[in-house]
Structure 1
């Protein structure tokens, strides 16, 4: 299974500088972290990969299936940064409703909603109203909504923003449990989201990739003398500085 962006160019307005230009990317197995400062092109990359937007030039495919097709959108799920609760709907009803919106019939959506909530470790909250869930629980409901229709690729845009350290830990543990069956790409500007679970790290700056490899090769860029426990931060800062950016 390969999700690929090939020579993609995207600009938000005609005459403006492209956010991405002749951009190539292939999503590896497991959990991949997409790092970069605000405005680097992370969200644009995710929207192209999710078929939310289309490149002005280039192509996006999953195993040869072009972005924008029904099959592609069933196989590739995108969770935006903000998950809004639906007052009056339980967590299971929320996820089932998303499945129905994605074309599932109601009995299948209801059945799969339960399975998706089990996947994200929310079986004990499935009958709780969505507007009574914590921020971390609501993010996991968002992941369940992305998985309800059997996606093979999960794209997450800043999913841990605003979560406290404990909620972040629970969320990362949940993702680690998913990656045996699903490829996950998590966009963030916080190197703490690397943790020890990430299999791969891609760093983008100014619309281009400045690092793409496994986590070990990323951490090997840590400058000598970096304080203990700050290896990821040191490697990220060094990459940005070498690219003419300010961390």
Structure 2
């Protein structure tokens, strides 16, 4: 199921300028990382894709145009940057509870919660209070919560922020397995660490797509030989080119 934006326009009521204007974009299968500076429109794009916001104009669809917003939201998994554990709940209860909030029957949510925890390697922590999980474990619990209702699309906003190198490694391994089953769109500032592991890279700035393509083509935008340096340099080259074109107009 492909996520598609067609000429979408969105402006926050408190802002004078639009965040997205005539925005069109189609997500491909696999893992796509979403890059861009602060204020580029990444979080707005993800919230629109998750159904948390609705465009002022335009259309957002997931494979078809027939879903109501309520049905659409059930088809999409959303993991925000900041995950708030529910006090008193165990890890399994937390995942099942969020599945229930997505419209699952309680019995189904409870049964599927263990499968979701298995998928992120948290079965052993199922009885542990979610408030006692480590930062990396809480991120994975958040991902399990996003997966429990068998969504057709997974949206992640800065999921590796604050994780140490080992936690990021575990999270990325889990994410690769998820992306093999359903499309994943993930925003990140961790350019060097994730560019080589994605299937696609999308760079947005000022509410528009400035570059989209495979990771090899992305890294080829830089002449740097070290991969980490190449990813960072390629990202900056895209933004510099977008700025130059804007100033030229």
TM over 0.5: yes
Matched, 1:164 2:164: yes
Q: Give 1:42 deviation, angstroms.
A: 0.2
Give the structure 2 partner of residue 82 of structure 1.
82
Cα offsets for 1:158-185 (capped at 9, x unmatched): 1111111111111111100111211100
SS at match of 2:228: coil
Give the structure 2 partner of residue 70 of structure 1.
70
* Aligned CA-pair RMSD: 1.6
Consecutive unaligned residues in structure 1, runs of 5 or more:
none
SS at match of 1:6: strand
SS at match of 2:55: coil
SS at match of 1:243: helix
Q: Give 1:225 deviation, angstroms.
A: 4.3
CA distance in 2, matches of 1:61, 1:190: 28
CA distance in 2, matches of 1:225, 1:114: 45
Q: Give 1:196 deviation, angstroms.
A: 2.7
Size of the aligned set, in residue pairs, is 244
Paired residues of 2:196 and 2:216 also in contact (CA < 8 A)? no
Q: 1:208 to 1:199 in 2, by over 3 A?
A: same
Higher helix share: 2
* TM-score, length basis structure 2: 0.93
Q: 1:225 to 1:92 in 2, by over 3 A?
A: closer
Q: 1:238 to 1:152 in 2, by over 3 A?
A: same
Give the structure 1 partner of residue 232 of structure 2.
233
Give the structure 2 partner of residue 95 of structure 1.
95
Runs of 4+ in 1 over 2 A off after TM superposition: 65-71, 224-229
Cα offsets for 1:48-70 (capped at 9, x unmatched): 11110001010000111456523
Paired residues of 1:86 and 1:94 also in contact (CA < 8 A)? yes
Q: 1:165 to 1:195 in 2, by over 3 A?
A: farther
CA distance in 2, matches of 1:124, 1:232: 36
SS at match of 1:98: helix
CA distance in 1, matches of 2:196, 2:178: 15
Q: Give 1:238 deviation, angstroms.
A: 1.1
Give the structure 2 partner of residue 31 of structure 1.
31
CA distance in 2, matches of 1:38, 1:110: 38
* TM-score, length basis structure 1: 0.94
Cα offsets for 1:62-105 (capped at 9, x unmatched): 11145652331121111111101122211100001111112211
Q: 1:225 to 1:106 in 2, by over 3 A?
A: closer
